[in-house]
């Protein structure tokens, strides 16, 4: 097997994807992990505050990275490890976005990368009620113990890609994509002096418009002060954006939301539609993705801590409908941050 690539996983300090605080990498040669690397780091200056939600997920705090190099200073080592490899990531739009936004706000240019998204491949090659990393890793025979440890997540991503290649009798990334009738996506090289990505522009605009009180709240909110109505207002169902990227994991999906989200239901629907999804208000035979709030994680599917909509999804999945449950955190990664 000539299956060569590097798997990558980032953890971020806050809702802006350009705030990396940890990275894990697994280099694969011939379908075997041969080298690994991981770093803690300070996020780029002015984007280095740690939000409660992120720290609760990965356990990294501001004091853990004091005095460490910032992402822009560390990227030459990260880039040297990757070399000319194809990058693999579980929800690659997020991890490639971390590289781009992190370098943009650091004032640095970035190289082009061909990449593989194992969420997209998992959807195509497995039949899981959730394609989140723990479920896909278990299916691939590389179960996670410490999810959101960047090194372990990168290793799991590598295992998923190797397993999918074997199931498709593919000896290389090129053979795998050919067998699936797909084209290998590529993030082009970029120079922030010639223009910024949409995610970076939006983050800079939000920071510039925030009042001092809002900035303080952003740094201190612990998640306990929010209130929600018992029945969130669904709002209208906007039409999918016809100019959305066809390779995005939400493109062409029919998405329903359930539970309390950190944003309003209409805003969530609008963000999904921007990525080419069709939002709807209830689970039907058309539904392909259910986004679950209330702090849902993949393990809740087995524990039974589910809303009525989620239970309906499990029923339909058991009957053969291709439908997927994702957490709000995974949805936020897909749409580019908080």
Q: What is the pLDDT of residue 231?
A: 52
Q: What is the helix (H) or strand (E) element at residue 116, kind and residue range? A: strand 113-117
Per-residue confidence band for 196, with pLDDT thresholds at 50, 70 and 90: very high
Q: What is the pLDDT of residue 221?
A: 38
Name the average pLDDT for the chain. 88
What is the rounded CA–CA span in Å between residue 158 and residue 247?
20
Dump pLDDT digits (tens) for 298-325. Answer: 677 777 767 788 788 888 888 888 888 8
Instruction: List Cβ neighbours of 278 (8 Å cut-off, separation of 6 or more).
Output: 237, 239, 240, 253, 254, 255, 286
Which stretches does DSSP call E strand in 215-336?
A: 254-258, 278-280, 289-292, 324-327
Question: Does position 97 have pLDDT exceeding 90, yes or no?
Answer: yes
Read off the tokens for 254. Answer: 């029919």
Q: What is the pLDDT of residue 294?
A: 73
Read off the tokens for 195. Answer: 């223009």
Q: What is the pLDDT of residue 234?
A: 83
Dump pLDDT digits (tens) for 113-135. Answer: 999 999 999 989 998 888 989 99
Question: Does position 211 have pLDDT exceeding 90, yes or no?
Answer: no
Averaged pLDDT, 23-38 = 98
Query: For the purposes of burial, counting CB atoms within 10 Å of the CB of 250, is it exposed (0-12), middle (13-18) or buried (19 or more)?
Result: buried
Question: Does position 226 have pLDDT exceeding 70, yes or no?
Answer: no
Averaged pLDDT, 266-285 = 93
Q: What is the pLDDT of residue 9?
A: 97
Q: What is the pLDDT of residue 321?
A: 83
What is the rounded CA–CA span in Å between residue 338 and residue 331?
10
If you compute the radius of gyration of the chain from its CA atoms, what whole number of angstroms results? 19
- CB atoms under 10 Å from CB of 35, counted, come to 11
Question: Does position 12 have pLDDT exceeding 50, yes or no?
Answer: yes
Q: Which is it for strands 32-40 and 186-187: parallel, antiparallel or unpaired?
A: unpaired
Q: How many residues does the chain have?
A: 338
Q: Cα dihedral sign for 11, 12, 14, 17?
A: negative
- CB–CB of 315/284 below 8 Å? no
Q: Cα dihedral sign for 192, 198, 200, 203?
A: positive
179-185: long-range contacts (C-beta < 8 A, 24 or more apart)? 180/121, 180/124, 180/125, 184/86, 184/114, 184/115, 184/116, 185/92, 185/114, 185/115, 185/117, 185/247
Per-residue confidence band for 258, with pLDDT thresholds at 50, 70 and 90: confident
What is the rounded CA–CA span in Å between residue 183 and residue 9?
22
Whether this prediction's pTM lies above 0.85 is answered by: no
Q: Is the model more confident about 241 or about 219?
A: 241
Closest by Cα among 93, 261, 269, 107 to 186: 93
């Amino acid at each position: 097997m000539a299956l060569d690539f590097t798997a990558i996983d980032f953890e971020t300090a806050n809702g802006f994807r350009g705030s990396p605080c940890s990275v894990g990498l697994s280099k694969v040669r011939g379908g075997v992990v041969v080298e690994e690397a991981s770093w803690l780091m300070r996020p780029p200056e002015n984007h280095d505050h740690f939000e409660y939600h992120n720290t609760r997920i990965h356990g990294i705090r501001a004091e853990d990275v004091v005095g460490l190099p910032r992402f822009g200073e560390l990227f030459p080592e990260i880039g040297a490890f990757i070399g000319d490899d194809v990058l693999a990531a579980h929800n690659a739009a997020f991890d490639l976005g971390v590289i781009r936004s992190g370098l943009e706000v650091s004032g640095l240019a970035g190289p082009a990368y061909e990449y593989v998204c194992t969420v997209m491949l998992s959807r195509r090659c497995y039949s899981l009620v959730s394609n989140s990393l723990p479920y896909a890793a278990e299916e691939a025979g590389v179960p996670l113990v410490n999810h959101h440890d960047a090194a372990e997540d990168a290793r799991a991503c590598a295992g998923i890609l190797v397993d999918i290649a074997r199931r498709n009798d593919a000896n290389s990334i090129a053979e795998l994509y050919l067998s699936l009738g797909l084209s290998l996506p590529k993030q082009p090289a970029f120079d922030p002096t010639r223009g910024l990505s949409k995610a970076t522009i939006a983050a800079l605009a939000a920071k510039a418009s925030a009042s001092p009180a809002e900035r303080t709240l952003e740094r201190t909110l612990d998640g306990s002060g929010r209130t929600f109505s018992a029945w969130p207002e669904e709002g209208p169902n906007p039409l999918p954006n016809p100019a959305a990227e066809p390779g995005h994991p939400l493109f062409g999906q029919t998405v329903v939301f359930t539970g309390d989200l950190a944003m309003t239901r209409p805003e969530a629907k609008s963000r999904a539609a921007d990525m080419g999804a069709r939002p709807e208000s209830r689970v039907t035979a058309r539904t392909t993705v259910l986004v679950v709030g209330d702090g849902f994680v993949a393990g809740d599917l087995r524990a039974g801590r589910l809303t009525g909509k989620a239970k309906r999804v499990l029923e339909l999945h058991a009957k053969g409908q291709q439908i997927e449950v994702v957490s709000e955190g995974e949805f936020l990664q897909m749409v580019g941050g908080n």
